[in-house]
């Protein structure tokens, strides 16, 4: 996950730099403007792929956490059920001594 985050941050920085270069490109020099525009398109495409990978990683982590919480809740409910069942059995056995 940390590698994906670093890759995302680097890609985001690259996109920001490409956007700045595109904004500062001299429109009178057509060749330079075209070169900067093509570079921007490539960086933008790369950023989109990296950002989708990053979002996928976040979703996977959230799904794992959700499953862990569900497993914990099921085990807690099972422990409570066992506790109350044992308590009920003990009280039922003590019923004989009441009489």
- State yes or no: pLDDT of 78 exceeds 90: yes
| Whether residue 22 has pLDDT greater than 90 | no
Q: Is residue 85 predicted with pLDDT exceeding 90?
A: yes
Per-residue pLDDT at 99: 67
Band of residue 81 on the pLDDT scale cut at 50, 70, 90: very high
Residue 83 has pLDDT above 90, yes or no: yes
pLDDT > 70: what percent of the chain?
99
Mark 6-29 as b/e (b = at least 16 C-beta within 10 Å): eebeebeebbeebeebbeebeeee
pLDDT attached to residue 98: 74
| Arithmetic mean of pLDDT, 37-66 | 90
Distance CA 81, CA 87 (A): 10
């Amino acid at each position: 996950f940390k590698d994906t985050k670093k890759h995302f941050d680097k890609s985001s920085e690259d996109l920001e730099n490409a956007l700045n270069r595109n904004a500062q490109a001299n429109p009178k020099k057509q060749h330079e403007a075209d070169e900067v525009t093509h570079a921007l398109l490539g960086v933008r495409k790369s950023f989109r792929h990296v950002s989708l990978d990053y979002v996928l990683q976040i979703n996977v982590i959230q799904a794992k956490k959700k499953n862990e919480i569900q497993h914990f809740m099921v085990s807690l409910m099972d422990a409570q059920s066992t506790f109350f069942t044992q308590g009920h059995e003990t009280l039922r056995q003590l019923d004989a001594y009441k009489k």
